[in-house]
Chains A and B, each alone.
Chain A
Amino acid sequence: MLKNYKINTFIMRFFVYLLLILLLIITITPIWLLIVNSTRSTTEIQQGISILPSTHLISNYRLLVSKGINMPRGFANSLFLAVASTAVTVYFSFLTAYGLVVYNFPGRKLISNFIIVLVMIPMQLSIIGFYRFMSKMGLTDNYAALILPLLANAGAVFFGKQYFEAMLIQDLIDAGRIDGAGELGIFHMIMMPLAVPGAVTTGIFAFIASWNNFFTPFILISSIGKYTLPMLVQTLRGDVYRTEYGAIYLGLAITIVPIILIYAFFSRYIVSGIALGAVKE
C-alpha cells in the first residue's frame, strides 16, 4: 500500500516535470529564436532553423541602420521617456499613497475606493478626446503629453498604498514632528528612504510600461526624430525591410534584450511586486 503510494507519487511527479519542461520550451523558444536569428544572415535564416548563434551581428546592424531607421536615436528617446515616466510615477504615486494612509481627512475612504475603481476603468479608450485636448494645447508631438498623465497613475498609487500600510510606523512620524520637521519634510527625509524597496518595484514596472508602450505615442507623436522603439518596430514591418530578416530580428532584439537584462537583476522585486498588487488575505 505504502509502496504503491510512493510509486504513484513518483509517476505523477514525472508528468508534472514533463509539463513544466513543455511550458519552459514554449516560453523560451520564441525569445531564443529571436536572439539567435539576430546574429544570423538573412540567407542563413532562410536556409533553416538553428539554435546556435552565428557571426553576422555586426553586418545585420549595419543593414538595420543603413535604411533610414535611426535605432540609437529611438533607443535614446525610449530611455529618456522611460526614465522621466518612472521618476514622475514613483514620486507622485508615493506622495498620494502616503497622504491617503497617514492623514485622516474627510473623503479619504471615498478617494481610496475611487482609485480601485480607476484601476478597472479602460482609460485608453478616451485617447481621442485626449488627443484633441493635447492638440488644442499644442502638446501633440511632445513627450509632456506622455508624462503628465502619470501624475494620476491609479495602479501605482494602489501599490504604494499597500506598501505604506504594511510598513508605516506612526512613531517615526511623531518623532519627526517633535524634531520640528514639516509634514512634507517627514515624507521626504524619513518615509521615502524607508520605502525604497517599494519604490524600486514601482519604478521597474513604470519603466517597463513606458518602454513597451506603443499605442499612446503612436497616436500622439508624429515627427520621426521623436519616435520611440515600439514605433520603430512598426516601421521595421514596412516595405523597406521586407526580406531583410536578419536586420528585422536584430531590431526586435534591441527592444527586448534590455528588458531581459533588467529582469535578470531585479526578478525578485518584480515577482514579489505582482503578488503585492493583487493578494488578499
Chain B
Amino acid sequence: MNLTKLRRNYTGYMFLAPFIIGFLIFGLYPVLNTLGLSFTNTTVMSSESRFIWLDNFKRLFADVVFIRAIGNTWLIWMMNFIPQMGIALLLSVLFTSARLKIKAIGTWRAIFFLPNLLMPAAVAALFNAMFAYYGPMNQLMVRSGILSVAMRFLENIWVTRGLVSFIQWWLWFGQTIIIVMAGMTSIPVHLYEAAMVDGASVWQMFRRITLPLLRPILIFIFVTSLVGGMQMFDIPFMLTDGRGSPLSSIQTNNILMYMKFASSQGHIGAASSVGVMVFLMTSICALGIFYFLRERDMGDGKPKRKLFSKKNIER
C-alpha cells in the first residue's frame, strides 16, 4: 500500500468524527451517567446526593411493583408479537403463492403499513376515546345487541392489556409483513421446484425450505421488536391515566421509571436503577438471541450468510 493511499484511508476517521464524538457525548456518557446515578440516592429536590451502593437495586428486587412491571411488559409484548408474526408469515405465504396469484399486493401492503407511521401517542388517545364509557365502541356493542349494557372497558384488566397489545399489533403487523415478504421473495425458486418434483407438500416446503432460510430475518424482527417492546411507553401511558391503570395492569418498565422520576421527590437514583436493570435485561436478551440463534446450523463449510444486504429490494 503506498503512502497516499494510506493517508487517504485515515481521512475515514474524519468522516466518522461527528458520529464518534456524538456517540461518546450523547450516547455513551448518558448510559454511564445513568449507571452512576443508580448507585446514589439523588433526588431532584435536594442538592445532596449520597453513594448508597446497591441499595436501590435491593429495594427494587424486594418491590413487587417492579417485578410486576417487568411481567406486564413481557406479557403485553408477547401478546402482540406472536399474532404479529403469525399473520405476517401467513400473508407472506399467500402473497407469494404462485397458485393463488393475489392481485395488487403492493397496494395491500402499503395500506396495512399505514398505521405504523401514525403517532403512537395520538393512536392511544384515539383508542381511549373510542373505548370510553360513552364512546363509539359501547354504542356499537349495545345497539347491535352484543352487550346488553355498556361496559367500562378501560377498567377491566384484560380488556386494557388486550387493547395495548392490539394497538401495538395494529401499528406493527404491516411492517412485519413487508420484511418477511422481502425475505421470502429472496429464496431461490429452484429450491421449491426441486421439492415439488420430489412430491413435497405445501406444509413440508414451508417447514423445510421457507422457515430455515427465513431464520436470519425472523431473528432480526424478533430482536428489534423485543428491544422496542421493552421500552414501550407512549401507548400504555396515553391509553389510561399514565400510571398503568387499571390496577397497574399496563404499568410497563418505562412507565415505572417515569413515575419514580416524576414523583413528588423526583427519585432520580431509584429511576436510574430501573433503567439500568431493564437496559441490562433487554441488551442481554437481544444480543444473546442475535448471536446464538443466528449462525447455529451454518457450520457446514459454506460461507456465512449475511444477515443484512440489499438484494431483491425492488421486487
Contact = CB atoms under 8 A, between A and B. Distances in A.
Interface in A235-281: 236-237, 245, 248-249, 252, 255-256, 259-260, 262-263, 267, 270-272, 274-276, 278-281
A121 B313 contact: no
A233 interface: yes
Given A129-B33, A152-B19, A99 B170 contact: no
Interface string B25-41: 11101111111110000
Interface residues of B, number: 109
Contacts of B186: 279-281
B136 A103 contact: no
A281 B112 contact: no
B251 interface: no
B37 A129 contact: yes
A16 interface: yes
Interface residues of A, number: 99
Given A119-B224, A162-B310, A248-B125, A129 B26 contact: no
Interface string B125-148: 111111000101001100100000
Contacts of B140: 49
B136 A49 contact: yes
A215 B122 contact: no
A150 B14 CA distance: 18
B64 interface: no
B12 A152 contact: no
Most buried by B among A23, A165, A187: A23
Which of B19, B20, B282 has its CB near the most chain A CB atoms (within 10 A)? B19
A276 to B, nearest CB: 5
Interface in B1-51: 8-16, 18-23, 25-27, 29-37, 42
A95 interface: yes
Given A152-B22, A276-B313, A128 B37 contact: yes
A132 B233 contact: no
Contact of A275 (B110, B114, B182): B182
Contact of A12 (B19, B35, B100): B100
Contacts of A127: 30, 34, 257, 275
Contacts of A229: 119, 122
B155 interface: no
Contacts of B70: none
* A contact patch SS: helix
Interface stretch (B74-82, B192-200, B204-212, B213-221): B213-221
A151 B19 contact: yes
Contact of A49 (B23, B101, B139, B272): B139
B66 interface: no
Given A13-B101, A31-B118, A152-B20, 15 more contacts: A49-B139, A95-B15, A105-B10, A120-B290, A129-B31, A130-B33, A131-B261, A149-B26, A152-B19, A152-B26, A236-B125, A263-B114, A270-B117, A274-B179, A281-B305
Interface of B: 8-16, 18-23, 25-27, 29-37, 42, 87, 91, 94, 99-102, 106, 108-115, 117-123, 125-130, 134, 136, 139-140, 143, 170, 174-175, 178-179, 182-183, 186, 216-217, 220-221, 223-224, 227, 230-231, 233-234, 238, 253-254, 257-258, 261, 268, 271-272, 275-276, 278-279, 282-283, 286-287, 290, 305-314
